[in-house]
């Protein structure tokens, strides 16, 4: 009887601890910024999360948008507004070590600059930073270039 209890306890411990050892790191995808429609931002956010899901559990969406907006608003009222303090608050809220910032900047009528930054919140450093220009850019081309820009991170 004692041996079977030890066996059962051992199995339970293994089942409890092994999944967390292989779990992806959590990352928060900040609301996308740039001259995109709300539907395009939602679509692109989902695509970014899918590309990075093999490495991170990506938290994004309306709840993140609301929390990020509130955190930055709160910090902006302080005498020393600090972006890294905002990132720490956001990462604590979602229990994540990474913050992903993805920006689309309009350069000319059909030319955009896509920027991807991955922040490591515990160290306060930018772990990855890439940008790429999108010429004669349609939304479909923007999505393709965005995937290729961040898929380099997926491989590492």
Long-range Cβ contact pairs of 137-140 (< 8 A, separation 24 or more): 137/110, 137/111, 137/112, 139/36, 139/40
- What pLDDT digit, counting tens, does each position of 144-155 carry? 998 888 875 443
- Please state the rounded mean pLDDT for residues 95-107: 94
- What pLDDT digit, counting tens, does each position of 45-68 carry? 999 999 998 889 999 999 999 999
- Please state the rounded mean pLDDT for residues 8-17: 51
The whole-chain average pLDDT of the chain stands at: 83
For the domain with range 25-155, which CATH number is right: 3.40.50.300, 3.40.50.10610, 3.40.50.261, 3.50.50.60?
A: 3.40.50.10610
* Per-residue pLDDT at 44: 94
Whether the pLDDT of residue 90 is over 70: the answer is yes
* Domain locations in the chain as residue ranges: 25-155
Whole-Å CA distances, 124 to 5, 83, 84, 97, 121: 46, 10, 7, 10, 5
* Per-residue pLDDT at 80: 73
- Residue 12 parent element (H or E): helix 2-22
Split at pLDDT 50, 70, 90, the class of 15 is very low
pTM exceeds 0.75, yes or no:
yes
Split at pLDDT 50, 70, 90, the class of 100 is very high
């Amino acid at each position: 009887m004692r041996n079977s209890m030890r066996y059962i306890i051992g199995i339970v411990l293994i089942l409890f601890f092994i999944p967390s050892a292989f779990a992806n790191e959590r990352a928060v995808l900040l609301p996308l910024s740039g001259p995109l429609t709300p539907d395009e931002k939602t679509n692109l956010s989902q695509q970014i999360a899918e590309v990075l899901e093999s490495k991170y559990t990506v938290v994004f969406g309306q709840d993140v948008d609301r929390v990020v907006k509130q955190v930055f608003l709160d910090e902006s009222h302080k005498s020393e507004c600090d972006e890294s303090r905002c990132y720490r608050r956001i990462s604590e809220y979602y229990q994540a070590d990474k913050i992903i910032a993805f920006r689309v900047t309009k350069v000319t009528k059909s030319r955009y600059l896509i920027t991807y930054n991955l922040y490591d919140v515990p160290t306060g450093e930018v772990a990855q930073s890439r940008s790429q220009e999108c010429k004669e850019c349609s939304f479909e081309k923007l999505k393709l270039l965005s995937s290729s820009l961040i898929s380099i991170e997926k491989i590492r």
